[in-house]
A and B are shown apart, each in its own frame.
Chain A
Amino acid sequence: MHLYKSIKNFLFDQDYFIDIWGSNVHIFNFIDILTLNDQNVSLQLEKFKLDILGSEFRVLKLTKNEILIQGNIKEMRFTE
Protein backbone atom coordinates (compact mmCIF):
# COMPACT_ATOMS: atom_id res chain seq x y z
CA MET A 1 0.00 0.00 0.00
CA HIS A 2 2.89 2.32 0.76
CA LEU A 3 4.31 1.80 -2.70
CA TYR A 4 0.90 2.42 -4.27
CA LYS A 5 0.50 5.66 -2.31
CA SER A 6 3.99 6.82 -3.26
CA ILE A 7 3.32 6.20 -6.94
CA LYS A 8 -0.04 7.95 -6.67
CA ASN A 9 1.54 10.94 -4.99
CA PHE A 10 4.25 11.05 -7.60
CA LEU A 11 1.79 10.93 -10.46
CA PHE A 12 -0.83 13.22 -8.92
CA ASP A 13 1.30 15.56 -6.91
CA GLN A 14 -0.77 18.58 -7.99
CA ASP A 15 -4.05 19.63 -6.50
CA TYR A 16 -5.52 19.82 -9.93
CA PHE A 17 -4.57 19.74 -13.57
CA ILE A 18 -6.07 21.04 -16.76
CA ASP A 19 -5.06 19.41 -20.03
CA ILE A 20 -6.04 20.91 -23.34
CA TRP A 21 -5.44 19.21 -26.63
CA GLY A 22 -7.24 19.71 -29.90
CA SER A 23 -10.84 20.41 -29.04
CA ASN A 24 -10.69 18.52 -25.71
CA VAL A 25 -10.27 19.79 -22.16
CA HIS A 26 -9.54 17.43 -19.34
CA ILE A 27 -9.89 18.83 -15.83
CA PHE A 28 -8.91 16.85 -12.78
CA ASN A 29 -9.65 17.58 -9.14
CA PHE A 30 -12.37 20.15 -9.49
CA ILE A 31 -14.68 20.77 -6.56
CA ASP A 32 -18.01 21.51 -8.18
CA ILE A 33 -19.78 22.12 -11.46
CA LEU A 34 -21.39 25.53 -11.43
CA THR A 35 -22.72 25.70 -14.97
CA LEU A 36 -22.93 23.07 -17.63
CA ASN A 37 -24.36 23.64 -21.07
CA ASP A 38 -23.21 23.41 -24.69
CA GLN A 39 -21.70 26.93 -24.66
CA ASN A 40 -20.39 27.38 -21.17
CA VAL A 41 -18.87 25.14 -18.54
CA SER A 42 -18.02 26.70 -15.16
CA LEU A 43 -16.09 24.68 -12.65
CA GLN A 44 -15.07 25.54 -9.12
CA LEU A 45 -11.57 24.52 -8.32
CA GLU A 46 -9.85 24.86 -4.97
CA LYS A 47 -8.35 28.32 -5.48
CA PHE A 48 -10.19 29.66 -8.48
CA LYS A 49 -13.15 29.38 -10.77
CA LEU A 50 -12.71 28.16 -14.33
CA ASP A 51 -15.04 29.27 -17.12
CA ILE A 52 -14.77 27.60 -20.46
CA LEU A 53 -16.60 29.38 -23.23
CA GLY A 54 -17.26 28.17 -26.75
CA SER A 55 -19.83 26.14 -28.61
CA GLU A 56 -21.01 22.56 -29.15
CA PHE A 57 -19.65 21.38 -25.83
CA ARG A 58 -20.11 17.74 -25.08
CA VAL A 59 -19.23 15.87 -21.91
CA LEU A 60 -17.33 12.74 -22.86
CA LYS A 61 -16.57 11.58 -19.36
CA LEU A 62 -17.76 12.72 -15.96
CA THR A 63 -16.87 11.54 -12.48
CA LYS A 64 -16.97 13.21 -9.07
CA ASN A 65 -13.69 15.09 -9.55
CA GLU A 66 -12.87 14.66 -13.21
CA ILE A 67 -14.44 15.89 -16.43
CA LEU A 68 -13.57 15.54 -20.11
CA ILE A 69 -15.17 18.04 -22.42
CA GLN A 70 -15.09 18.20 -26.21
CA GLY A 71 -16.15 21.16 -28.29
CA ASN A 72 -15.08 24.42 -29.91
CA ILE A 73 -13.18 26.22 -27.16
CA LYS A 74 -13.01 29.99 -27.64
CA GLU A 75 -12.05 31.26 -24.25
CA MET A 76 -10.96 30.09 -20.81
CA ARG A 77 -11.22 32.38 -17.81
CA PHE A 78 -9.69 31.93 -14.40
CA THR A 79 -11.28 34.06 -11.67
CA GLU A 80 -10.55 34.06 -7.95
Chain B
Amino acid sequence: MNYFWISINQKEQDRFLLKCYKQNIVIYESVTSSKRCLFKIAAADYPKVSKMYFAKVRVEDATGTPKIKKFLKKYFFFIISSLLGLFLFFFLTHIIVKVEVIHSNKDIRDLLTTALAEKGIKKNTWKKSFSELEQIKKEILNQYPDRLEWLEIETQGMNYYVRVEERKLKEEEQKMERCHLVATKDGILKKLIYSKGEALLKTNDYVKKGDIIVTGILKKDEETKEVLCASGKAYAEVWYKATIKVPKKRMESKETGKIRWNILLKNNSYNDFLFRSRLENYQTETKSLFKIFNTEVFFAKQKEVVNTIIEKNEAELLDEATTKMQEKIKLTLQEDEEILNQKILSQNETDDYLEVQFFVAVLEQIGKQQEFTLDSDLDTHSPNLSE
Protein backbone atom coordinates (compact mmCIF):
# COMPACT_ATOMS: atom_id res chain seq x y z
CA MET B 1 0.00 0.00 0.00
CA ASN B 2 1.14 3.54 -0.71
CA TYR B 3 1.46 6.03 2.11
CA PHE B 4 2.28 9.68 2.59
CA TRP B 5 3.93 11.22 5.59
CA ILE B 6 2.34 14.64 5.94
CA SER B 7 3.11 17.32 8.42
CA ILE B 8 0.89 20.02 9.90
CA ASN B 9 1.38 22.74 12.44
CA GLN B 10 1.04 21.45 16.01
CA LYS B 11 -1.65 24.00 16.80
CA GLU B 12 -3.85 22.63 14.06
CA GLN B 13 -3.57 18.98 14.99
CA ASP B 14 -6.73 18.66 17.14
CA ARG B 15 -8.93 20.09 14.44
CA PHE B 16 -7.10 18.11 11.84
CA LEU B 17 -7.59 14.84 13.75
CA LEU B 18 -11.29 15.46 14.28
CA LYS B 19 -11.68 16.29 10.63
CA CYS B 20 -9.81 13.15 9.69
CA TYR B 21 -12.09 11.13 11.94
CA LYS B 22 -15.16 12.66 10.34
CA GLN B 23 -13.90 12.01 6.85
CA ASN B 24 -12.83 8.44 7.63
CA ILE B 25 -9.15 9.16 7.10
CA VAL B 26 -7.05 6.61 8.93
CA ILE B 27 -3.99 7.82 10.79
CA TYR B 28 -1.58 4.92 10.73
CA GLU B 29 1.25 6.48 12.67
CA SER B 30 2.11 9.82 14.15
CA VAL B 31 5.30 11.51 15.28
CA THR B 32 5.45 14.85 17.05
CA SER B 33 8.39 17.18 16.85
CA SER B 34 8.77 20.57 18.51
CA LYS B 35 6.53 22.52 16.12
CA ARG B 36 5.04 20.12 13.63
CA CYS B 37 3.15 16.85 13.78
CA LEU B 38 3.79 14.14 11.27
CA PHE B 39 1.02 11.75 10.28
CA LYS B 40 1.15 8.69 8.09
CA ILE B 41 -1.93 8.49 5.90
CA ALA B 42 -2.93 6.44 2.89
CA ALA B 43 -1.96 8.01 -0.42
CA ALA B 44 -5.58 7.66 -1.50
CA ASP B 45 -6.64 9.92 1.38
CA TYR B 46 -4.25 12.69 0.45
CA PRO B 47 -6.70 14.59 -1.82
CA LYS B 48 -9.14 14.82 1.13
CA VAL B 49 -6.38 16.08 3.40
CA SER B 50 -5.15 18.62 0.88
CA LYS B 51 -8.61 20.15 0.87
CA MET B 52 -8.43 20.95 4.58
CA TYR B 53 -7.76 24.63 4.08
CA PHE B 54 -7.40 25.41 7.78
CA ALA B 55 -4.20 23.41 7.94
CA LYS B 56 -1.04 23.89 5.97
CA VAL B 57 -0.37 20.32 4.90
CA ARG B 58 3.07 19.47 3.65
CA VAL B 59 4.12 16.14 2.20
CA GLU B 60 7.35 15.14 3.91
CA ASP B 61 7.91 11.66 2.61
CA ALA B 62 6.17 8.83 0.85
CA THR B 63 6.35 5.06 0.63
CA GLY B 64 5.53 2.67 -2.20
CA THR B 65 4.75 4.02 -5.68
CA PRO B 66 4.75 7.75 -4.74
CA LYS B 67 8.25 7.33 -3.33
CA ILE B 68 9.41 5.65 -6.51
CA LYS B 69 7.83 8.42 -8.59
CA LYS B 70 9.51 11.05 -6.46
CA PHE B 71 12.86 9.27 -6.74
CA LEU B 72 12.52 8.95 -10.52
CA LYS B 73 11.66 12.63 -10.81
CA LYS B 74 14.62 13.64 -8.67
CA TYR B 75 17.19 11.47 -10.42
CA PHE B 76 15.65 11.52 -13.88
CA PHE B 77 18.76 12.68 -15.76
CA PHE B 78 21.08 10.45 -13.78
CA ILE B 79 18.91 7.40 -14.43
CA ILE B 80 18.47 8.20 -18.12
CA SER B 81 22.19 8.78 -18.65
CA SER B 82 23.05 5.59 -16.73
CA LEU B 83 20.63 3.59 -18.83
CA LEU B 84 21.98 5.16 -22.01
CA GLY B 85 25.51 4.40 -20.86
CA LEU B 86 24.60 0.79 -20.13
CA PHE B 87 22.87 0.47 -23.46
CA LEU B 88 25.88 1.97 -25.23
CA PHE B 89 28.21 -0.33 -23.33
CA PHE B 90 26.07 -3.35 -24.21
CA PHE B 91 25.88 -2.19 -27.82
CA LEU B 92 29.62 -1.63 -28.14
CA THR B 93 30.51 -4.93 -26.51
CA HIS B 94 28.07 -6.95 -28.58
CA ILE B 95 28.58 -5.60 -32.07
CA ILE B 96 31.16 -6.50 -34.68
CA VAL B 97 32.57 -3.73 -36.83
CA LYS B 98 35.24 -5.66 -38.67
CA VAL B 99 35.85 -9.22 -39.80
CA GLU B 100 39.42 -9.82 -40.88
CA VAL B 101 40.59 -13.05 -42.40
CA ILE B 102 44.31 -13.47 -41.84
CA HIS B 103 45.91 -15.45 -44.62
CA SER B 104 48.41 -14.71 -47.38
CA ASN B 105 46.29 -16.30 -50.10
CA LYS B 106 43.65 -13.95 -51.49
CA ASP B 107 41.49 -16.85 -52.74
CA ILE B 108 41.30 -18.31 -49.25
CA ARG B 109 40.52 -14.91 -47.80
CA ASP B 110 37.70 -14.33 -50.29
CA LEU B 111 36.37 -17.86 -49.88
CA LEU B 112 36.28 -17.59 -46.13
CA THR B 113 34.84 -14.07 -46.09
CA THR B 114 31.94 -15.26 -48.24
CA ALA B 115 31.43 -18.42 -46.19
CA LEU B 116 31.46 -16.42 -42.94
CA ALA B 117 29.03 -13.85 -44.34
CA GLU B 118 26.65 -16.66 -45.28
CA LYS B 119 26.78 -17.84 -41.67
CA GLY B 120 26.06 -14.35 -40.38
CA ILE B 121 29.59 -13.31 -39.48
CA LYS B 122 30.03 -9.96 -41.19
CA LYS B 123 30.62 -6.41 -40.11
CA ASN B 124 27.93 -4.43 -38.30
CA THR B 125 26.22 -7.52 -36.91
CA TRP B 126 25.76 -8.83 -33.40
CA LYS B 127 28.46 -10.97 -31.87
CA LYS B 128 27.90 -14.70 -31.82
CA SER B 129 28.13 -16.81 -28.71
CA PHE B 130 31.00 -19.21 -28.20
CA SER B 131 28.90 -22.26 -29.07
CA GLU B 132 27.57 -20.58 -32.23
CA LEU B 133 31.13 -19.75 -33.32
CA GLU B 134 32.21 -23.32 -32.69
CA GLN B 135 29.27 -24.56 -34.77
CA ILE B 136 30.08 -22.14 -37.62
CA LYS B 137 33.73 -23.18 -37.58
CA LYS B 138 32.71 -26.82 -37.80
CA GLU B 139 30.28 -26.18 -40.64
CA ILE B 140 32.82 -24.19 -42.69
CA LEU B 141 35.50 -26.82 -42.21
CA ASN B 142 33.03 -29.49 -43.31
CA GLN B 143 31.99 -27.35 -46.27
CA TYR B 144 35.56 -27.02 -47.57
CA PRO B 145 37.37 -30.14 -46.41
CA ASP B 146 39.86 -30.03 -49.29
CA ARG B 147 40.68 -26.33 -48.92
CA LEU B 148 40.78 -25.66 -45.19
CA GLU B 149 42.85 -27.47 -42.61
CA TRP B 150 42.11 -25.46 -39.50
CA LEU B 151 40.11 -22.39 -38.60
CA GLU B 152 39.98 -20.13 -35.58
CA ILE B 153 37.71 -17.16 -34.99
CA GLU B 154 39.22 -14.85 -32.43
CA THR B 155 37.24 -12.04 -30.87
CA GLN B 156 39.24 -8.91 -30.06
CA GLY B 157 37.12 -6.02 -28.89
CA MET B 158 34.70 -5.21 -31.70
CA ASN B 159 36.60 -7.23 -34.29
CA TYR B 160 36.71 -10.83 -35.40
CA TYR B 161 40.10 -12.07 -36.52
CA VAL B 162 39.81 -15.29 -38.46
CA ARG B 163 42.97 -17.33 -38.65
CA VAL B 164 43.00 -20.10 -41.16
CA GLU B 165 45.34 -22.81 -42.29
CA GLU B 166 45.08 -23.88 -45.88
CA ARG B 167 44.99 -27.58 -46.59
CA LYS B 168 47.89 -28.49 -48.83
CA LEU B 169 47.42 -31.87 -50.34
CA LYS B 170 50.77 -33.55 -50.56
CA GLU B 171 51.94 -33.71 -54.09
CA GLU B 172 52.19 -37.25 -55.01
CA GLU B 173 55.72 -38.25 -54.90
CA GLN B 174 57.06 -38.42 -58.35
CA LYS B 175 57.46 -42.04 -59.08
CA MET B 176 60.61 -42.84 -60.79
CA GLU B 177 61.20 -46.21 -62.33
CA ARG B 178 64.94 -46.10 -62.50
CA CYS B 179 67.04 -44.06 -60.14
CA HIS B 180 70.28 -43.94 -58.20
CA LEU B 181 70.90 -42.37 -54.82
CA VAL B 182 73.44 -39.70 -55.64
CA ALA B 183 75.57 -37.46 -53.41
CA THR B 184 74.62 -33.79 -53.50
CA LYS B 185 77.74 -32.64 -51.67
CA ASP B 186 81.34 -33.64 -51.02
CA GLY B 187 82.02 -35.35 -47.71
CA ILE B 188 82.86 -38.49 -45.80
CA LEU B 189 80.07 -41.03 -45.69
CA LYS B 190 79.15 -41.72 -42.08
CA LYS B 191 75.85 -43.52 -42.18
CA LEU B 192 73.93 -45.23 -44.97
CA ILE B 193 70.37 -46.46 -44.71
CA TYR B 194 68.77 -47.81 -47.85
CA SER B 195 65.80 -50.02 -48.64
CA LYS B 196 66.22 -50.55 -52.37
CA GLY B 197 69.26 -50.80 -54.56
CA GLU B 198 72.87 -51.77 -54.01
CA ALA B 199 75.40 -49.70 -52.06
CA LEU B 200 78.49 -48.77 -54.02
CA LEU B 201 80.17 -46.99 -51.10
CA LYS B 202 80.67 -47.85 -47.47
CA THR B 203 80.97 -45.73 -44.34
CA ASN B 204 84.08 -43.53 -44.00
CA ASP B 205 84.49 -43.51 -47.81
CA TYR B 206 85.12 -40.13 -49.31
CA VAL B 207 82.28 -39.10 -51.56
CA LYS B 208 82.18 -36.38 -54.19
CA LYS B 209 79.19 -34.44 -55.40
CA GLY B 210 77.44 -36.48 -58.12
CA ASP B 211 78.85 -39.85 -57.01
CA ILE B 212 76.38 -42.73 -56.97
CA ILE B 213 76.05 -43.94 -53.40
CA VAL B 214 73.32 -46.54 -53.94
CA THR B 215 72.73 -47.80 -57.46
CA GLY B 216 69.41 -48.85 -58.93
CA ILE B 217 71.02 -51.47 -61.15
CA LEU B 218 71.34 -54.83 -59.49
CA LYS B 219 74.03 -57.01 -61.00
CA LYS B 220 75.19 -60.51 -60.51
CA ASP B 221 78.39 -61.75 -62.10
CA GLU B 222 78.67 -58.57 -64.17
CA GLU B 223 75.21 -59.17 -65.54
CA THR B 224 72.35 -56.78 -64.93
CA LYS B 225 69.55 -58.62 -63.23
CA GLU B 226 67.19 -55.88 -62.26
CA VAL B 227 66.77 -52.16 -62.67
CA LEU B 228 64.88 -50.27 -59.95
CA CYS B 229 64.72 -46.97 -58.15
CA ALA B 230 67.21 -46.90 -55.28
CA SER B 231 65.91 -45.31 -52.12
CA GLY B 232 67.46 -44.44 -48.78
CA LYS B 233 69.36 -41.85 -46.83
CA ALA B 234 73.07 -41.18 -46.89
CA TYR B 235 74.57 -39.16 -44.04
CA ALA B 236 77.98 -37.68 -44.58
CA GLU B 237 80.33 -35.36 -42.76
CA VAL B 238 80.40 -32.20 -44.83
CA TRP B 239 82.32 -29.01 -44.19
CA TYR B 240 81.47 -25.40 -44.21
CA LYS B 241 83.22 -22.14 -43.65
CA ALA B 242 81.21 -19.63 -41.70
CA THR B 243 82.17 -16.03 -40.98
CA ILE B 244 80.59 -14.31 -38.02
CA LYS B 245 80.92 -10.68 -37.05
CA VAL B 246 80.29 -9.69 -33.43
CA PRO B 247 80.37 -6.18 -31.94
CA LYS B 248 83.09 -5.63 -29.35
CA LYS B 249 80.99 -3.35 -27.19
CA ARG B 250 77.62 -3.81 -25.61
CA MET B 251 75.18 -1.46 -24.02
CA GLU B 252 74.17 -2.13 -20.42
CA SER B 253 71.10 -0.44 -18.95
CA LYS B 254 70.80 0.22 -15.24
CA GLU B 255 67.56 1.38 -13.62
CA THR B 256 67.79 4.58 -11.57
CA GLY B 257 64.55 3.92 -9.68
CA LYS B 258 62.63 6.83 -11.23
CA ILE B 259 59.25 5.74 -12.53
CA ARG B 260 56.71 7.64 -14.61
CA TRP B 261 53.24 6.46 -15.58
CA ASN B 262 51.79 7.02 -19.00
CA ILE B 263 49.12 5.86 -21.42
CA LEU B 264 50.15 4.18 -24.65
CA LEU B 265 47.86 4.23 -27.67
CA LYS B 266 48.47 1.63 -30.33
CA ASN B 267 46.86 0.86 -33.63
CA ASN B 268 47.97 -0.09 -37.13
CA SER B 269 49.33 3.34 -37.99
CA TYR B 270 49.91 4.95 -34.62
CA ASN B 271 51.97 3.93 -31.64
CA ASP B 272 52.72 6.71 -29.19
CA PHE B 273 52.34 7.83 -25.61
CA LEU B 274 49.48 10.10 -24.67
CA PHE B 275 51.64 12.31 -22.46
CA ARG B 276 55.15 13.52 -23.18
CA SER B 277 57.71 11.63 -21.16
CA ARG B 278 59.97 13.63 -18.90
CA LEU B 279 62.57 10.88 -18.78
CA GLU B 280 65.46 10.89 -21.21
CA ASN B 281 66.18 7.17 -21.38
CA TYR B 282 63.64 4.71 -20.17
CA GLN B 283 62.36 1.18 -20.53
CA THR B 284 58.64 0.63 -20.79
CA GLU B 285 56.43 -2.05 -19.32
CA THR B 286 52.90 -2.08 -20.67
CA LYS B 287 49.65 -3.62 -19.57
CA SER B 288 46.68 -3.72 -21.90
CA LEU B 289 43.62 -1.88 -20.57
CA PHE B 290 41.04 -2.11 -23.33
CA LYS B 291 40.58 -1.97 -27.06
CA ILE B 292 38.18 0.28 -28.87
CA PHE B 293 37.77 0.95 -32.58
CA ASN B 294 40.96 -0.81 -33.58
CA THR B 295 43.01 1.15 -31.06
CA GLU B 296 44.43 -0.60 -28.06
CA VAL B 297 45.02 1.41 -24.91
CA PHE B 298 47.88 0.37 -22.62
CA PHE B 299 48.88 1.47 -19.19
CA ALA B 300 52.62 2.14 -19.45
CA LYS B 301 55.22 2.16 -16.70
CA GLN B 302 58.36 4.03 -17.77
CA LYS B 303 61.47 3.20 -15.78
CA GLU B 304 64.40 5.56 -16.16
CA VAL B 305 67.64 3.84 -17.10
CA VAL B 306 71.25 4.88 -17.48
CA ASN B 307 73.02 3.30 -20.43
CA THR B 308 76.70 2.43 -20.14
CA ILE B 309 78.90 0.97 -22.85
CA ILE B 310 80.93 -2.05 -21.78
CA GLU B 311 83.79 -3.59 -23.74
CA LYS B 312 83.53 -7.37 -24.05
CA ASN B 313 86.57 -9.57 -23.34
CA GLU B 314 87.93 -12.06 -25.88
CA ALA B 315 86.37 -15.14 -24.34
CA GLU B 316 82.99 -13.44 -24.29
CA LEU B 317 83.40 -12.40 -27.94
CA LEU B 318 84.36 -15.92 -29.04
CA ASP B 319 81.47 -17.45 -27.10
CA GLU B 320 79.04 -15.05 -28.73
CA ALA B 321 80.49 -15.73 -32.19
CA THR B 322 80.28 -19.51 -31.66
CA THR B 323 76.67 -19.31 -30.48
CA LYS B 324 75.72 -17.15 -33.45
CA MET B 325 77.46 -19.49 -35.88
CA GLN B 326 75.71 -22.55 -34.40
CA GLU B 327 72.32 -20.83 -34.59
CA LYS B 328 73.00 -19.88 -38.21
CA ILE B 329 74.05 -23.42 -39.21
CA LYS B 330 71.16 -25.06 -37.33
CA LEU B 331 68.68 -23.04 -39.34
CA THR B 332 69.70 -24.98 -42.43
CA LEU B 333 69.76 -28.42 -40.78
CA GLN B 334 66.98 -30.99 -40.58
CA GLU B 335 65.99 -32.81 -37.39
CA ASP B 336 68.27 -35.77 -38.02
CA GLU B 337 71.28 -33.61 -38.88
CA GLU B 338 73.79 -32.12 -36.45
CA ILE B 339 77.01 -30.17 -36.01
CA LEU B 340 79.87 -32.58 -35.37
CA ASN B 341 82.63 -30.12 -34.52
CA GLN B 342 83.91 -26.64 -35.23
CA LYS B 343 87.28 -24.87 -35.31
CA ILE B 344 88.31 -21.26 -35.54
CA LEU B 345 90.23 -20.61 -38.71
CA SER B 346 91.00 -16.92 -38.35
CA GLN B 347 90.12 -13.78 -36.43
CA ASN B 348 90.06 -10.24 -37.80
CA GLU B 349 89.72 -7.38 -35.40
CA THR B 350 88.60 -3.80 -36.03
CA ASP B 351 87.81 -1.05 -33.53
CA ASP B 352 84.16 -2.05 -33.34
CA TYR B 353 83.94 -5.64 -34.48
CA LEU B 354 85.60 -9.02 -34.24
CA GLU B 355 85.26 -11.15 -37.34
CA VAL B 356 85.69 -14.89 -36.75
CA GLN B 357 85.95 -17.48 -39.48
CA PHE B 358 84.89 -20.98 -38.47
CA PHE B 359 85.41 -24.33 -40.03
CA VAL B 360 82.41 -26.47 -39.22
CA ALA B 361 81.89 -30.19 -39.75
CA VAL B 362 78.25 -31.17 -40.08
CA LEU B 363 76.51 -34.53 -40.33
CA GLU B 364 74.12 -34.02 -43.21
CA GLN B 365 71.89 -36.10 -45.41
CA ILE B 366 73.42 -35.82 -48.88
CA GLY B 367 71.64 -38.60 -50.77
CA LYS B 368 69.19 -37.62 -53.51
CA GLN B 369 67.30 -39.79 -55.95
CA GLN B 370 68.26 -39.15 -59.52
CA GLU B 371 66.66 -40.79 -62.49
CA PHE B 372 68.77 -42.44 -65.17
CA THR B 373 68.04 -43.73 -68.62
CA LEU B 374 69.21 -46.94 -70.09
CA ASP B 375 70.60 -47.49 -73.52
CA SER B 376 68.79 -50.00 -75.71
CA ASP B 377 70.33 -53.03 -74.07
CA LEU B 378 70.25 -53.69 -70.37
CA ASP B 379 73.63 -55.29 -70.41
CA THR B 380 75.37 -52.44 -72.13
CA HIS B 381 73.78 -49.63 -70.17
CA SER B 382 75.43 -46.37 -69.31
CA PRO B 383 73.60 -44.27 -66.72
CA ASN B 384 72.83 -40.86 -68.03
CA LEU B 385 72.68 -38.65 -65.03
CA SER B 386 70.72 -35.54 -65.51
CA GLU B 387 70.38 -32.69 -63.01
Contacts and interface: CB of A to CB of B under 8 A. Distances in A.
A60 interface: yes
Contact of B32 (A58, A61, A63, A64): A58
A53 interface: no
Contacts of B20: 62
Interface stretch (B23-31, B148-156, B300-308): B23-31
Interface residues of B, number: 14
A61 B30 contact: yes
B25 to A, nearest CB: 8
B42 to A, nearest CB: 11
Nearest to A34: B18
A36 B32 contact: no
Contacts of A25: none
Contacts of A58: 30, 32, 37
Nearest to A57: B14
Contact of A61 (B13, B14, B24, B27): B27
B29 A62 contact: no
A42 B24 CA distance: 18
A55 interface: no
Contacts of A36: 14, 17-18, 21
B27 A59 contact: yes
Interface string A56-79: 001111111000000000000000
Contacts of B37: 58
Contacts of A63: 26-27
Nearest to A56: B32
Interface residues of A, number: 11
B29 A59 contact: no
A62 B14 contact: no
Contacts of B13: 59
Nearest to A58: B32
B21 A60 contact: no
Given A58-B30, A60-B30, A64-B24, A33 B14 contact: no
A23 to B, nearest CB: 13
B24 to A, nearest CB: 6
Contacts of B21: 33, 36, 62, 64
Nearest to B41: A62
A61 B17 contact: no
B29 A60 contact: yes
A38 interface: yes
Contacts of B29: 60-61
Interface of A: 33, 36-38, 58-64
